[in-house]
Structure 1
Amino acid sequence: MDEDILDTFPLREEIARVTGEAAAFAIDLLRPGWKLWQVLIILAVLLAAWLLRGWAAERMTHWMRTQTGRPKWQLRWLVIVRNRLGLVCFAALIWMTLLIMREVTWPSRSYLVGLAATIGTAWMVVSFVARLVRNPFLRKIVNWGLWIYVTLFYLGILDETKVFLDSLAIEFGDFHLSVLGIITALVVIGVLFAMARVLTKATSSRISRNEDISPSMRVLVVKLLQIVLYAGAFFLGLKWVGFDLTGLAVLSGAIGVGLGFGLQKVVSNLVSGVIILLDKSIKPGDVITIGDTFGWINALTARYVSITTRDGREYLVPNEDLITGLVVNWSHSNSLVRLDIFFGTSYGDDPHEVRRIAIAAAAGTERVLSSKPPVCHIVGFGDSSVNYILRFWIINPTEGLTNIRGNVYLALWDAFKANGISIPFPQREVRMLGEGAPQGDTKRPGHSTPVPGD
């Protein structure tokens, strides 16, 4: 217990020293003289920048609402600039103030203003660079970390701060984990992630435009590229700040075994996604039917496939279901699709004439292939009609199946009506009995009628 207390003495001494220096610096600034005037000038510039930011942001917002024809990336960057108008205004005003002060007084009397201008400009640059990090939490870590870093660097107390943060550490044998290491790791990993994101986006754009690669292989290459770049950025960031990856490899192996049992479905979907991309059974743009869902494939992800139906609903189907279930791919090897429709006509109509009229009606419908002529066959004699099947081929199932069936049915209706072909339907006769109508015999079978006198 005594050793623990003694170990805390250097830390307490360091905190006391830093606190004392900060208090002495604050007292020195408040003394009458040019240091105090510079502090007041910096505060006045801050107030002016805040007021100018409110005035400019409102007008910029109204102007942006009129720029509806601009590309989305331009509007996005305009929003980013508007949200950082405070830093932009401060940097512009403080540099103007510094130039004026250097013209009218000695450079030594504008030292603090120059320091504030340098730090304010660095903050502005950091706020724009941090936007390259997509994850909001990681972006805040990078943003605040770089802000603190540049501030300490220009104030000249970076080395002292590093020593202080490194003293706040947990040690187990050779393992040393300090606050400085954690902060550095988060900032470095965030910067590397941003670089990996930019590189992935640029490479993915080029791969997506390459027509020599199939759509499924493009998705697979992009996914593998993302895994390699982001994993490399993560481990490179840890290695950069001095973490020993040997122990991490052993720990990750043990964690992987545990996760393998607990996340079997997730792993199965990941493996199924890779298999789908490799065997090219489905790809973006295909029209598929899985269960009662019929729609277009929008995207293939590591865990699921996005399918959009004709009514605008988007289904996220796990990759495992596409591997183990029955899937109808209407455009797998070719885009030819045969459709069947059934109908019936009266027994009084000539079957040969009915078949000829039905084939002609289907052949004259838009989207029905003429290279594969429609055919019509009798499939049975029903209670009130002769039943037929009409088969025809189309080449573009992506434009819908229900609509082409409806058009062929409508063509049959018009053709049958023009040629006097009737489509029978069940008819029933309902007889209404009045009160004076004779009632039927209500006695049950096997019972004799009683004779009077018995």
Structure 2
Amino acid sequence: MTENKLREFFYQAWEQLAALGTDIDVIAQLLAILAGLAVAYFTRRKLQAALHGLQHRLPPRSPVARALDILSELSFPLIWLVLEFTILAVFQGVGPPSHIISAVCSLLSAWIIINIVTSLAENKIWARLVAFCAWTIAALNILGLLTPTLDFLESLAFNLGETRISMLGLVKVIIAAIIVFWITFGLSRFLEARIYKTRAFTPAVQVLTAKLVRVALVATAVLIILSNSGINITAFAVFGGALGVGIGFGLQKIVSNLISGIILLLDRSIKPGDVIEVGETYGRVHSMGARYASVITRDAMEYLIPNEDLITQQVINWSYSSKNVRLRVPVGIAYDSDVPKTIALVEAAALDLPRVLSDPPPRCLMRGFGDSAIDLELRFWIADPEEGCGNITSAVLVRIWQIFKEEGIGIPFPQRDIRVQMVDDKPRAQFETGDGKD
């Protein structure tokens, strides 16, 4: 049966070739096609250069610039098509058969139209797969070989239980899967872009909604493909149950991270833009995925923290309910300093920096009497912890040092005095600590 179908396929293909005319007519048409191909190949660069020159004068992302970019990519088949249409008109006017030239014009037209449509998609891999499938079907139809090809593929079949599976059915499923997934991913990207642009959702809700939409679209696409392939979906029930149990045991951590990520997105305890501290990691949450959260530190290092750790471990969220953060800076002054005046100067020094909030205002408190200094503590607030806490603390200390130097306020440091006494005509060293030399 298969051999008969194969003979019939080649016989019909031979009949199509025989109907093209005599050998001389075929050779003349082939030479005309090759001449058009050569001219198009050597002139395409000039057209591309002209299109690029026009493109540089336009905004990069304008529709006209995008159209010129598509024309530049299709410059070769476009020039070839125009030349073949000209040659076809000459052949039809003179009188020789022009079936081959007409078929080439149809093939080029189909190729250009399909590529223009698929070039609008952002995913180039899926676009090329769709273009290849569409052009293959169009080429077989133009050459009159679509029906023989379908009959031949239908004859190549085997039985799997009570189900008959043919090559034609497999090809249809593959083509349908390529087209459905191409549409699905394109629609998913469009909806995700709309979700991220809306201001009605918080960043956490945007991420969760976008992921749910993508999962729902992919699941729908899989069900559509399976239902149209003729496969009984209920036959996968037992297999799916066993597979689910295996996944539950083997992928516990992955599933735990996935569920933890959904919980984090729902309760909004951690969201993109927050400044968090987990263990020894301190930084800003850049993005949140299904398995991990990306945290960028002040050193531009990106840590991928599993979502499960953010649920089970202690996490310091510096911007959970408010971005305002209070910082503490210890300050020591000499015992002979004017404490009330120094406290006022320290508070004014903090207010000199733009990142320090004036409401609530900085407060400087006396904490006690140290061994060699009076201990003060400056407390001030900032509203941008994502910009760093260590750098603003350093800036405040530098400003305090400048004011102390201008006002003559001493900053003490521990000193050691050495006293030498004579005991039994022998020197003995005695060490004492104090604020100054005796």
- Structure 1 and Structure 2 fold alike (TM over 0.5): yes
Structure-2 change in CA distance of 1:254 and 1:175 (3 Å): farther
SS of residue in 2 equivalent to 1:389: strand
Mapped pair 1:17 → 2:8:
yes
Rounded Cα–Cα distance in structure 2 between residues aligned with 1:138 and 1:217: 29
Rounded Cα–Cα distance in structure 1 between residues aligned with 2:334 and 2:123: 69
* Matched ranges for 1:131-150 at <5 A: 131=119, 138-150=126-138
* Matched ranges for 1:156-235 at <5 A: 156-235=144-223
Give 1:213 shift. Answer: 1.9
Where does residue 35 of structure 2 map in the other structure? 44
Matched to 1:34, the amino acid is D
> Among the aligned pairs, what percent are the same residue?
36
Rounded Cα–Cα distance in structure 1 between residues aligned with 2:417 and 2:138: 95
Structure-2 change in CA distance of 1:308 and 1:73 (3 Å): farther
TM-score, normalised by the number of residues in structure 1: 0.81
Structure-2 change in CA distance of 1:379 and 1:268 (3 Å): same
Rounded Cα–Cα distance in structure 2 between residues aligned with 1:350 and 1:72: 68
Where does residue 314 of structure 1 map in the other structure? 302
- Aligned equivalent of 2:23, options 19, 32, 37: 32
Rounded Cα–Cα distance in structure 2 between residues aligned with 1:310 and 1:68: 39
SS of residue in 2 equivalent to 1:109: coil
Structure-2 change in CA distance of 1:415 and 1:238 (3 Å): same
Higher strand residue share: 2
* Matched ranges for 1:24-423 at <5 A: 26=17, 31-57=22-48, 66=56, 70-71=60-61, 81-102=71-92, 104-106=93-95, 109-131=97-119, 138-423=126-411
Q: How many residue pairs get matched?
A: 423
Which deviates the most, 368-377 or 124-133?
124-133
Give 1:316 shift. Answer: 2.6
Q: Which runs of 5+ in 1 are unaligned?
A: 1-9, 432-438, 442-454
Give 1:216 shift. Answer: 1.3
Structure-2 change in CA distance of 1:53 and 1:252 (3 Å): farther
Structure-2 change in CA distance of 1:430 and 1:415 (3 Å): same
Structure-2 change in CA distance of 1:251 and 1:338 (3 Å): same
SS of residue in 2 equivalent to 1:306: strand
Rounded Cα–Cα distance in structure 2 between residues aligned with 1:421 and 1:74: 69
Q: Which runs of 5+ in 2 are unaligned?
A: 420-425, 429-438
Does the 8 Å CA contact 2:121/2:186 hold for their aligned counterparts? no
Could you say what the CA RMSD is over the residues aligned between the two structures, in angstroms? 3.3
Give 1:392 shift. Answer: 0.9
Does the 8 Å CA contact 1:132/1:194 hold for their aligned counterparts? no
Structure-2 change in CA distance of 1:246 and 1:80 (3 Å): farther
Rounded Cα–Cα distance in structure 1 between residues aligned with 2:400 and 2:107: 80
Give 1:413 shift. Answer: 0.8
Does the 8 Å CA contact 1:133/1:193 hold for their aligned counterparts? no
Q: Deviations over 1:146-195 (max 9, x none)?
A: 22111111222212211212333342122333332232222222222222
Rounded Cα–Cα distance in structure 2 between residues aligned with 1:429 and 1:114: 108
Structure-2 change in CA distance of 1:20 and 1:197 (3 Å): same
Rounded Cα–Cα distance in structure 2 between residues aligned with 1:67 and 1:262: 57
